[in-house]
Structure 1
Amino acid sequence: MKLNIDVADFINSRRISPYQWMILVITTLIAAVDGLDVAIISYLIPSLSHDWGLPKAAFGQVIGAGLFGVAIGALTVGPLSDRKGRKTVILLALALCAIGTFGCAWSHSILEMTAWRFITGLGLGAALPNATTILAEYSPERHRARLIAVMFVGFSLGAASAGFAAGWLLLLIGWHGMLVLGGVLPTLCALLVWAVLPESARFLVVKGAPAERVARILSRIGQLQTGHDIRFTLPELQGVQHSSIAGLFKGGLGLGSALLWLAYFMGLLVYYLLTSWLPSLIVQTGQPIAMAAVVSAMLLVGASTGTLLMGWLMDKVRPTLIVAAGFVFGSLLLVHVGRGLDSFLELEVCVFFAGFFVSGALSSMNTLAAVFYPTQSRASGVSWMLGIGRFGGILGAMGGGWLLGAGWDISRIFMALAVPTLLAGLALGFKCLRYREVHERAAGDVVGAH
């Protein structure tokens, strides 16, 4: 007797199993390693500037090269997973991260470091969207936002750990040792992924993999009926003829894709300017580098808190509305900082809440993309949003160097950053009005237009 099993319904109808918790742990580790590698270079700029006798603004090209690599990695290597598999691309991405970071550790000039940072960026650009995708495809729909939020707390904590580690280890092992550590971690993570992480069951169904292979994976999530000739299906596959990239614009999804890209572009412009240059801006106020590193890390601690709260709310209220509100509140906070603060303690508190609203909303956008696209386009949808947005990150990282060189202080920069933050909130607000959300759908994975 032939038994058809809907993979999406199989996952959605069951409690989260220990096997799915393990997938969450591994993808969170991937995100943490990604976050550390993204942030580490910004904490090393003051030391590199001193050792190489170059102005801090000169390292804007190193940061920009890394972000350009992230964009290229997301736009090219990321969509490869919709053809070759999520796990395969994650392994490739982690290998590129390790090779590039080791290369940076043994660089002797800014040109060498720029080239190696670009290679690192290629890996960073491919790792995160594919980790997001594989977690989304193993998460029950009712818990998906919260689980992805937990994963992105790993990213924020990884980035924050770069700041805390810099404040503690930089004097002991120097920038060279910090970069070696940054290369060892993705190497270890790749070994764990290779040994333990499964390929996405949804992807295997899309690609027509043998039912026995899918059954072995799903049997670790819940009990399968035996004694039947099992066929695994996904309702969203009916009538689908387009490629993964074309799927970002089919079925009324084009406008939503553009709005996601605009919001993420603006959000990353703000995020990367702050994470890349906030330590240098704080040093400019007369604070020591150790204090600047710790205060800058508060941005990422705030991001972790904001991501968790928003993830919880997104499973209960319209997700896009929650993220849009985060950006709007973040813009108001940036204006408050731009008007001037009375104490360093107040700056610490404001940096924390800037992370809470702005970075929390930015991390939550990965959930919006993951639930917006169907399986055959999901990795491409997430990675293209991340890739397009990274050009905003490039503008923010390099623009911070230009503004620093022009003598802008921390107040003027925060005031200016309120504008793109507000634009991100407005773009998502319009998307919220235009599209139904995950809670309003009767079936399937595709978000429909009103």
Structure 2
Amino acid sequence: MSKINITDVVNEGKFNRFHLGLLICCCLIIVFDMFDLVIYSSIVPIIMEEWSISPVEAGAIGSYGIFGMMLGAIFFGILADKFGRKNILILCVILFSIFTFLCAFAPGPLTFSTFRFIAGVGIGGVLPNVIAIMTDYAPKHLHNTMVSIVMCAFSVGGILAGFVGIYFIPLLGWKSVYWVAAIPLLIIPFMIKYFHDSPAILLVKGRIDELRYVLSKVNDKVSLTPEIEFVTSTEIEKDPSSPVIALFKNNRALGTVMIWIAFFMCLLMINGISIWLPNLMFSAGYALSSSLSFMIVLNIGAIIGTLILGGLADKFGVKKVLVPMFIMAAVSLTLLGFKNNMIVLYLLVLITGACTMGAQNISYAFVSQYYPSLMRSTAIGFASGIGRIGGIIGPTFGGILVSLNLSTQMNFLSFAIPGILAAIAFSFVPVKRTHHKKTIEINITEEENVYEIES
């Protein structure tokens, strides 16, 4: 009986209709994932007045959703590696769509915060699974490119939130922006039909017919007759411990801790700025519509930065790109605190978006390839979840800064410092060693409590 290596089948595939459909669906999910998170920033000045809440309380409401994201990223990341990514991802989309939509009907801050928290749990579970699925099925030469494109969808969601806020709020009121959140429910039938769990999970679970079908879609140049026996080029071992402990094995401990620190600092900076940039600009004397336009430019910069940095990372290595980009982010944020003409301000906001959100997006691609496949959702989930702790602190931190009536320069400088700390942490992440991986067979009738380690 001839054998085919499933890793080679995926890696050697050419970009085709299967990859395009997967990429489009994942991008749409991420667009609304981000929209549901940042649309809150468009209504902060309005609900502060309508519900008579303080800046600290408004920042806390922003943090509730991010706290839910932290729990969702960790919880659903672990569940996805154990039970499969497809169904967990569908559940996450249902959660964040329905409960963000329900925010439009919240009578006050308590109910609004509750809905935002539950939506955040779903939002947090989306990213680890989307990135893991894209990495699982992307051809090797397109790993960074496809993940970067998906991550750009975050910024598209931020841009969409800005435009919806600008045009819907004056016409229909602030609650109207949350009606848009129900749209992702239309994607679910396509996810049920076209999404699949990773090839490694399908092989381990013994779902050979589905594995044969999806591999034929990924790489139509390979003959996959019923006589073919599937093997993988990564070693599988039984282990009584969890994939979480595996994140610290095989010389990954230092890298894991440094990645977590970097994600914490980076998301503190990004989420704080995303929530408070319109308000900070409004307080500095700009009109609300102009302040919202800064958020649009911030996300345009993130798209440009993600695409450019993705190519640079493939060429020079991720660390050599991320470290200077976070330093540049800190510099541009600091300069935003000074009074400049509009052209210079927009340019600085553009650079800030490219060097904060853009660099953070590339860091997800880095994590997805730093860890083996069967612990990939767990690794991304924990990095994102730990990072969300910083994200939780970010909006509240911004609210505290505003309540202290500090100068504009001090507000932006305070958000710039975490960028320096993120750069330092990433600089300590060890470069992943290239291992020779044996091609082995998996006995699919054995116990399924397994996960991947490097050979």
Q: If the length of structure 2 is used for normalisation, what is the TM-score? A: 0.92
Assess, with a 3 A threshold, how the Cα gap between structure 1 residues 447 and 287 changes in structure 2: closer, same or farther: farther
User: 1:130-141 to 2 correspondence within 5 Å?
Assistant: 130-141=129-140
User: What is the rounded CA distance, in whole Å, between the counterparts of 2:196 and 2:208 in structure 1?
Assistant: 15
2:212–2:224 CA contact under 8 A, matched in 1: no
Specify the alignment match of 2:432 in structure 1: 436
Residue segments in structure 2 that go unaligned for 5+ positions in a row: 440-451
- The letter for the 2-side match of 1:361 is A
Assess, with a 3 A threshold, how the Cα gap between structure 1 residues 255 and 91 changes in structure 2: closer, same or farther: same
1:26 CA displacement = 1.0
User: 1:9-408 to 2 correspondence within 5 Å?
Assistant: 9-182=8-181, 184-205=182-203, 207-223=204-220, 224-227=222-225, 229-239=227-237, 241=239, 243-338=242-337, 340-408=338-406
Assess, with a 3 A threshold, how the Cα gap between structure 1 residues 444 and 315 changes in structure 2: closer, same or farther: farther
User: What is the rounded CA distance, in whole Å, between the counterparts of 1:276 and 1:175 in structure 2?
Assistant: 16
RMSD (Å), alpha carbons: 2.0
Q: After superposition, give the CA deviation of every residue in 1:108-163 in whole Å (9 maximum; x if it has no partner).
A: 11111111110010001101110111011001222111110000101111112101
Tell me the secondary structure at the aligned position of residue 229 of structure 1: coil
User: What is the rounded CA distance, in whole Å, between the counterparts of 2:317 and 2:164 in structure 1?
Assistant: 37
2:43–2:174 CA contact under 8 A, matched in 1: yes
Q: After superposition, give the CA deviation of every residue in 1:174-228 in whole Å (9 maximum; x if it has no partner).
A: 111111212x1232233332233233223212x3323221001111122332555
User: What is the rounded CA distance, in whole Å, between the counterparts of 2:400 and 2:55 in structure 1?
Assistant: 11
- The letter for the 2-side match of 1:259 is M
Residue segments in structure 1 that go unaligned for 5+ positions in a row: none
User: What is the rounded CA distance, in whole Å, between the counterparts of 1:192 and 1:165 in structure 2?
Assistant: 25
User: 1:413-428 to 2 correspondence within 5 Å?
Assistant: 413-428=411-426
Tell which deviates more after alignment, 186-195 or 92-101.
186-195
Assess, with a 3 A threshold, how the Cα gap between structure 1 residues 227 and 22 changes in structure 2: closer, same or farther: closer
User: What is the rounded CA distance, in whole Å, between the counterparts of 1:232 and 1:25 in structure 2?
Assistant: 29
- The letter for the 2-side match of 1:424 is A
Tell me the secondary structure at the aligned position of residue 2 of structure 2: strand
1:68–1:121 CA contact under 8 A, matched in 2: yes
Specify the alignment match of 2:448 in structure 1: none
Tell which deviates more after alignment, 65-74 or 164-173.
164-173
Alignment length (residue pairs): 441
Assess, with a 3 A threshold, how the Cα gap between structure 1 residues 330 and 231 changes in structure 2: closer, same or farther: same
1:3–1:228 CA contact under 8 A, matched in 2: no
User: What is the rounded CA distance, in whole Å, between the counterparts of 2:92 and 2:193 in structure 1?
Assistant: 16
1:73–1:126 CA contact under 8 A, matched in 2: yes
Tell which deviates more after alignment, 384-393 or 2-11.
2-11
1:261–1:385 CA contact under 8 A, matched in 2: yes
- The letter for the 1-side match of 2:432 is R
1:435–1:448 CA contact under 8 A, matched in 2: no
Tell me the secondary structure at the aligned position of residue 230 of structure 2: strand
2:282–2:291 CA contact under 8 A, matched in 1: yes
Tell which deviates more after alignment, 410-419 or 82-91.
410-419
1:321–1:428 CA contact under 8 A, matched in 2: no
1:56 CA displacement = 4.1
- The letter for the 1-side match of 2:228 is I
User: What is the rounded CA distance, in whole Å, between the counterparts of 2:280 and 2:304 in structure 1?
Assistant: 24
Assess, with a 3 A threshold, how the Cα gap between structure 1 residues 227 and 88 changes in structure 2: closer, same or farther: closer
